[in-house]
Amino acid sequence: MRTSSVTAGQAPEFNWENPYLLLTPGPLSTSPTVRAVMLRDWCTWDDEYNLGIVTPIRDGLVRLASASQPQLFTSVLMQGSGTFSVEAMIGSTVPQDGKLLVLANGEYGNRLGRIAATLKIPHLIHDTGELAAPDLGKLEASLAGDPAITHVVCVHNETTTGMLNPIKEIAAIVKGRGRTLLLDSMSAFGGIPMDMAELKIDFLVSSANKCIQGVPGFGFVIARRDELMKCQGRARSLSLDLYDQWQGMEKGHGKWRYTSPTHVVRAFAQAMQELEAEGGVAARYKRYSENQRRLLNGMESLGFRCVLPRELHSPIITGFHSPQHPDYSFAKFYQELKSRGFVIYPGKVTNIDSFRIGTIGHVFPEDIDRLIKAVQASMYWV
């Protein structure tokens, strides 16, 4: 029985096992060892925390971002969910007289535009809709025709649909035209091999609870040092000032400017070690790809159809059309699956009735095989 009762002065009774797998990144399912290391408290100004935990995380992130030239980059950790770090990146990099071009093809791309609008940053949005890749010709033409544009921002893996955007091609155009490139790599970093130096990406954001498989509570920005150096005084927010947060961490040897989520940070250090033990990003990419391959094959054998064509897909998350049956409801299907140990996501694509299943986290091909059996057993409308 999963009961928990808290009485003052007594440890609560608690079943530590997860009742179901989260296929809803994020948060996502984490390993028992990542969860276990949160069971002690840390002092935010002690070296044990700052030198022992925060600094190795910062260094490790830089090595994950660029194996070829890590010395070009630095990393800044930021409190809050992933969006806080995206907002910190956009708000702290575009100068007062700058202009931002946003490439949007889904909910997260639209959010980049909303951040720019809220911060009153001059911007324009290229929206290609949720089912199409960014328009590279239009990007090239805008950069050629509008010298006011200083920065370009786009999403790496658009989690709305699971579409993997062509960042290599985008980066070649943006850097070829001498602009600064910002990337929301929230749901791709750590799960899809990449090298920021080779791709010439200037700033990248991800968060603790995506492919590195930590728990939610902070995000991080990996930045080219020479580009971040230019950002002093540009921020439109005190707490989300990326440059100041960076300076604080550099001078304080890992100290965050304001209270950091210590338990979450400790869990993330464990998650980074587990990523390395698994064989790094290449091995994780392989596992996620195998998860998704089994998911696609299994779901198609049950009669489900993908929202996106296979070739546009990342191994991170997959959207499926809802069954066209009068008795089908997502809410009921969700409950059926949950009772069998799996939690899934509703769809997010406008005008398409769909649902999504994530394949990242502490989730293995055998789990996906069990999921397919659970889906079959949950198809109450058949």
Ligand X SMILES: *Cc1c(COP(=O)(O)O)cnc(C)c1O
Summarize as ranges the residues that interact with ligand X (CB under 6 A).
26, 81-83, 86, 108, 155, 159, 184, 186-187, 207
Q: What minimum distance in Å lies between the beta carbon of 84 and ligand X?
A: 7
Q: In angstroms, what CA-CA distances link 345 with 175, 265, 364, 368?
A: 36, 26, 18, 15
Nearer to ligand X, 83 or 245 (CB): 83
What is the chain's percent helix, strand, coil content, to nearest 5? 40, 15, 45
- Crossing angle for the helix pair 82-93 and 242-251, nearest 10 degrees? 100
Residue with tokens 């897909």: 313
Total residue count of the chain as it appears in this document: 382
Nearer to ligand X, 159 or 262 (CB): 159
Nearer to ligand X, 114 or 234 (CB): 114
3-state secondary structure (DSSP) of residue 316: coil
Nearer to ligand X, 184 or 202 (CB): 184
Nearer to ligand X, 77 or 375 (CB): 77
CB-CB contact of 242 with 80 (8 Å)? no
What pairs with residue 205 in β-bridges?
Answer: 184, 221
For 323, which DSSP code?
P
**Burial category of 32 from C-beta neighbours within 10 Å (exposed 0-12, middle 13-18, buried 19 and up):** exposed
- Single-letter residue type at 109: G
CB-CB contact of 297 with 289 (8 Å)? no
Q: What minimum distance in Å lies between the beta carbon of 257 and ligand X?
A: 20
Closest C-alpha among 52, 54, 74 to residue 63: 74
Q: What minimum distance in Å lies between the beta carbon of 332 and ligand X?
A: 26
Q: What minimum distance in Å lies between the beta carbon of 188 and ligand X?
A: 8
Q: Nearest to ligand X by Cβ — which residue?
A: 82
Q: What minimum distance in Å lies between the beta carbon of 146 and ligand X?
A: 26
Nearer to ligand X, 165 or 378 (CB): 165
For residues 151 and 148, give the distance between their C-alpha atoms in angstroms, rounded to a whole number: 9
Q: What minimum distance in Å lies between the beta carbon of 109 and ligand X?
A: 8
Residue 177 CB contacts under 8 Å (≥ 6 apart), including other chains: 140, 143, 144
For 313, which DSSP code?
B
Nearer to ligand X, 49 or 345 (CB): 345
Q: What minimum distance in Å lies between the beta carbon of 41 and ligand X?
A: 25
Q: What minimum distance in Å lies between the beta carbon of 83 and ligand X?
A: 3
Nearer to ligand X, 75 or 159 (CB): 159
H/E stretch holding 250 reads: helix 242-251
